[in-house]
Chain A
């Protein structure tokens, strides 16, 4: 995989609502007819599924843009790096069964083969760009269905291993930065409201992950009885704008009630990030989140959010290790030292600006 500096969906244009929205993602779950689902398939069958999908994709205009990685032949660190970059799921990287992932050169499209379902087609873009994600994922899906038979049921639609994905198999997620809602203790209200609307609010790496740096993924839970467009429309037109409004209101309230505290929080984060000699992952994520809030609030113009997004990936363990192949990183302290050095270096313009 290429170094993150060269681009990637996270580092694209920030677009509108970038003060709150980090990135958008659409994922489609599909299975091949005539094969047991991944959890019941034999090693032979799994191999067959991988080669069938890969071969058809490689020979066709709809799939030629994907470069394929065989996970069984991929070193652990690179697998982890793909997880950190949100290209594959944690479970997918950890399993030892035959599986593969196809990734487009710009990393906006990735197709996992033999995850919980035979195909997990996902498209990712920076900012609030749900429609572009859907268009990219659907283009692949339509191409694939011209060459492969997808498992389908007259009543349940697209069949998936888990009942939570049956129907249209779509999961739309938007990565949001919600520091003010947490600071003003409003996040639980948002979480409850989301649950009532059949949405899930999850951590930085999605299902089962902890919120880090106040980054959250909001995604739909219902995939049955709703058309793709309805799922997209509801999030795009109704729910996301509302969450953005709440977060902005909370930021405004916080700033007006405690302007000195808001500025102090930012300066402290900047000072720690630009001077520390050891930096653990949790702390780095937390401070980068505060930096992002400061940028969105106009407290600095020395750096922009794109740099913060890049650092959010670069501070992750596998990214750190792979970027410095000659540095020993056997202990957490060595890792923390490398992380601190990376941050000091990347945030030099900020250090100059805060004096």
Chain B
């Protein structure tokens, strides 16, 4: 099983209760530290205690409609337009799974739209993806993301990837 937050294998599976709703989260070691204050095995007892004392557990949710990952997973329905950025990359994976692996729309667009804000959010996300890919030394992914960034900026994408 993959981590809720990235593509790495999940090593922590924890049932949490948030807002009266019980849900199970699956996280890799790194995200477990960030999201659940999960302390890796072998950590000193002081750290364990500190983790419990500060333990404000965070559940990512959409700023637009309040949809959490667990709710999305349960019904497989997005709650609003903002979910598509707020719940990434989980929603990305759900879309690609449902769509036979397709990764982006092509074809018709509404004649009238003001997507400057959406474009900005998408660009910010790509930058984050690029940073992560470089940090993880996944250079092929980084090249793909860079091409996507160039497309967003209206530049011709490189083809060396």
Q: Which residues of A contact B (CB under 8 A)?
A: 31, 33, 35-37, 39-40, 116, 142, 145-146, 149-164, 166-168, 198, 221-230
Contacts and interface: CB of A to CB of B under 8 A. Distances in A.
A184 to B, nearest CB: 30
A227 B108 contact: yes
A154 B102 contact: no
A167 B105 contact: yes
B100 A157 contact: no
B141 interface: no
A161 B77 contact: yes
B18 interface: no
Interface stretch (B23-31, B39-47, B110-118): B110-118
A199 B106 CA distance: 19
Contacts, number: 126
Q: What secondary structure prevails in chain B residues at the interface with A?
A: loop
B84 A156 contact: yes
Contacts of B158: none
Interface of B: 64-67, 75-81, 84, 91, 94-95, 97-100, 102-115, 118-119, 122, 152
26 contacts: A36-B65, A39-B75, A40-B65, A40-B66, A145-B111, A152-B110, A152-B115, A153-B115, A153-B122, A155-B104, A157-B104, A157-B107, A160-B78, A162-B98, A163-B76, A163-B91, A166-B105, A168-B107, A222-B99, A224-B95, A224-B99, A224-B102, A227-B106, A227-B108, A228-B108, A229-B107
Given A36-B65, A37-B78, A225-B105, A159 B84 contact: yes
Given A40-B79, A156-B105, A163-B76, A149 B110 contact: yes
A153 B114 CA distance: 10
A153 B105 CA distance: 9
A154 B152 contact: yes
Q: Which one of A33, A163, A166, A168 has the greatest number of beta carbons of chain B within 10 Å? A: A163
Given A36-B64, A222-B100, A222-B102, A162 B76 contact: yes
B26 to A, nearest CB: 19
A174 to B, nearest CB: 20
Nearest to B109: A152
Contacts of B109: 152, 157
Contacts of B152: 154
A154 B119 contact: yes
B79 A225 contact: no
A158 B80 contact: no
Given A37-B77, A226-B107, 12 more contacts: A146-B112, A149-B110, A150-B110, A150-B113, A158-B105, A160-B78, A163-B94, A163-B95, A163-B99, A167-B105, A225-B106, A229-B107
Contacts of A149: 110, 112-114
